[in-house]
Chain A
Amino acid sequence: MGLNPDEPDETRRDAHVAEMKESGGLPVRTAEAQGGIFSGAPGFLTTRLDTVVNWARENSLWPMPFGTACCAIEMMATAASRYDLARFGMERMSFSPRQADLLICAGRVSYKMAPVLRRIWEQMPQPKWSISMGACASSGGVFDVYSMVQGIDTIIPVDVYVPGCPPRPEGLMYGILMIQEKIRRASPTADWVADESLIEGLPTLPAQHLDLVTSPFGNSTQQNRSSGLVSSGAIVRPNDRQP
């Protein structure tokens, strides 16, 4: 029997007492009534191991904030007083990758920064998830230039892309809820360690694997896979169109 918040307190208390009399002890909220994950008799608890592991994981994500630019300010706003990220069990921002399981990459990433991002991802223990926050992290955004990574999915695997420039705090929270949803649907007992598709012997990748990593997946549209030099034709000004 569940608790209906609309019932007056007396009704609820009466039902409670009746239930206690019936079962001869403390009432146990059943899974059906609660929509929760536990069920069982007094003193016992039965559940699926998958469910309880997922439940624990999804409600105590420790984010590793990899904030570089504008999105980092919105991430701070999300963690601050009005939006209060702590409501999602993400009270503890982990600034050390070894004690984190959710990488939030907020902001643009330059080629100079890319090996750092890769290494931080490698240092996070399994299982781990990542959010690419904002247009620049997801696809390079307006910065289709010589110094910027065109989407961090060419560097690390990404679970959730949050669009926006920068996304509002609500957007980031929605992304986090999607990560939680993803965790809920996973089956940790089936594959204890998520398959790490990156190649060993890092940080240098063998050339034959690199096209895999840099190929246009996700929403990165600015990739080209051919190797070698592109022509460096001088810019024709001032009548040239936008690139």
Chain B
Amino acid sequence: MTDPNFKKGLDALDQGPARAAGETVESPPPAGDLPPHPTVDALRDTFGEAILRHEVVSGDEHIVYIGPERNLEILRWLRDNPGERYDMLRDVTAIDYGNGAFLQLVYELWSIPNRRQLRIKIELPLDRLEVDSVYYVWRASDWLERETFDMFGIVFRGHPDLRRILMPYNYAEGHPLRKDFPLRGRFTRAEQTRRSLSLKTEDHYSPYEVELAKRLGQPLPSVMADDGGPGVPESGMPGIGAQ
């Protein structure tokens, strides 16, 4: 005996994610019907052409697309303008849609005084992945930009310490979150293991620290506990007399 409910379910599956006509799910109203975001209007008035378009997704999340040229100016204005005061940079990340599409750089802002959310997106062509860093506007962007650089290869001009953060400093396989990067990496497991085991102490340090150690006149401290060589005791009955 067939339960009509699941017949419905099967049909719904075939229809896919789009909502069926006449279905009374309280779907989010389209962007035009929403109360306009005050910041977006202010942005349009101030920067004009630099503001490309405005979208609303998932009901209440406002996205503003801007060009890559004036991002620092616009973002600084968003933080400092007394009417906006987006004092919290909650996230910097990027999205790669693959197939050569533009990379989207995403800034997620929050204003504690005004309790307002705004997402800024910048579309970057794959051959020109460069924008200005907002390091001196929000310090929160320090590691977030480093991570975006590490994972996507977007270069942030003016970041004082832009280097890889999650992958080893001498990682040679590319930027992992790009869609053209295979899930298991570009090298074989054997090659990856070989490269990993031949990491030297210097490979765990940034150029700044190498320079610092040189000035201090001391060798770089080992990352791998104390650097006394393999731990086989030399004398007598090892294992019993070790203490």
Residues of A within 8 A of B (CB): 53, 57, 96-98, 101, 111-112, 114-116, 118-120, 122-127, 144-147, 149-150, 154-155, 188, 192-193, 196, 202-205, 207, 210-211, 213-214, 222-235, 237, 243
Interface locus among B5-13, B67-75, B131-139, B185-193:
B185-193
Q: Are A222 and B189 in contact (CB under 8 A)?
A: yes
Q: Are A115 and B230 in contact (CB under 8 A)?
A: no
Q: Are B179 and A234 in contact (CB under 8 A)?
A: yes
Distance between Cα atoms of A123 and B242 in the complex (Å): 13
Nearest-Cβ distance from residue B95 to partner chain A, whole angstroms:
13
In the complex, residue of chain A having the shortest beta-carbon distance to the beta carbon of B198: A204
Nearest-Cβ distance from residue A228 to partner chain B, whole angstroms:
7
Residues 221 to 243 of chain B near chain A (Cβ within 8 Å): 222-226, 228-233, 237-240, 242
Q: Are A230 and B187 in contact (CB under 8 A)?
A: yes
Q: Are B168 and A111 in contact (CB under 8 A)?
A: yes
Q: Are B233 and A114 in contact (CB under 8 A)?
A: no
Known: A123-B225, A155-B197. A237 touches B98 (CB 8 A): yes
Q: Are B182 and A118 in contact (CB under 8 A)?
A: no
Which A residues are CB-close (under 8 A) to B240?
53
Known: A119-B224, A146-B185. A125 touches B98 (CB 8 A): no
Which A residues are CB-close (under 8 A) to B166?
147
Q: Are B237 and A192 in contact (CB under 8 A)?
A: yes
Q: Taking each of B182, B194, B196, B233, which has the highest tally of chain A beta carbons within 10 Å of its own beta carbon? A: B196
Which B residues are CB-close (under 8 A) to A120?
224-225
Q: Are B190 and A225 in contact (CB under 8 A)?
A: yes
Nearest-Cβ distance from residue A166 to partner chain B, whole angstroms:
23
Q: Are A196 and B232 in contact (CB under 8 A)?
A: yes
Nearest-Cβ distance from residue B73 to partner chain A, whole angstroms:
35
Q: Which of B183, B190, B194, B238 contacts A224 (CB 8 A)?
A: B190
Q: Are A210 and B193 in contact (CB under 8 A)?
A: yes
Q: Are B167 and A112 in contact (CB under 8 A)?
A: yes
Residues 87 to 142 of chain B near chain A (Cβ within 8 Å): 98-99
Which A residues are CB-close (under 8 A) to B225?
96-97, 116, 119-120, 123
Q: Are B190 and A214 in contact (CB under 8 A)?
A: yes
The main secondary structure of chain A at its interface with chain B is loop
Known: A112-B168, A146-B181, A204-B198. A210 touches B190 (CB 8 A): yes
Which B residues are CB-close (under 8 A) to A101?
239
Nearest-Cβ distance from residue A109 to partner chain B, whole angstroms:
10
Q: Are B98 and A234 in contact (CB under 8 A)?
A: yes
Q: Are B190 and A229 in contact (CB under 8 A)?
A: no
Which A residues are CB-close (under 8 A) to B168?
111-112
Known: A97-B225, A120-B225, A146-B181. A112 touches B196 (CB 8 A): yes
Known: A126-B238, A146-B184, A150-B189. A111 touches B196 (CB 8 A): yes
Leading 10 A-B pairs by shortest Cβ distance = A146-B185, A119-B224, A111-B196, A123-B231, A122-B230, A114-B196, A204-B198, A127-B239, A214-B190, A234-B180
Distance between Cα atoms of A205 and B225 in the complex (Å): 20
Q: Are B196 and A226 in contact (CB under 8 A)?
A: no
Q: Which of B173, B195, B197 contacts A118 (CB 8 A)?
A: B197
Q: Which of B187, B191, B193, B233 contacts A154 (CB 8 A)?
A: B193
Q: Which of A146, A228, A235 contacts B98 (CB 8 A)?
A: A235
Distance between Cα atoms of A144 and B189 in the complex (Å): 10
Distance between Cα atoms of A119 and B181 in the complex (Å): 30
In the complex, residue of chain B having the shortest beta-carbon distance to the beta carbon of A124: B231
- Known: A101-B239, A145-B183, A147-B167; 19 extra A-B contacts, CB below 8 A, are A112-B199, A116-B223, A116-B225, A118-B197, A122-B230, A123-B226, A125-B233, A125-B242, A126-B232, A192-B239, A193-B239, A202-B230, A207-B194, A211-B190, A214-B194, A224-B189, A229-B187, A234-B98, A235-B98
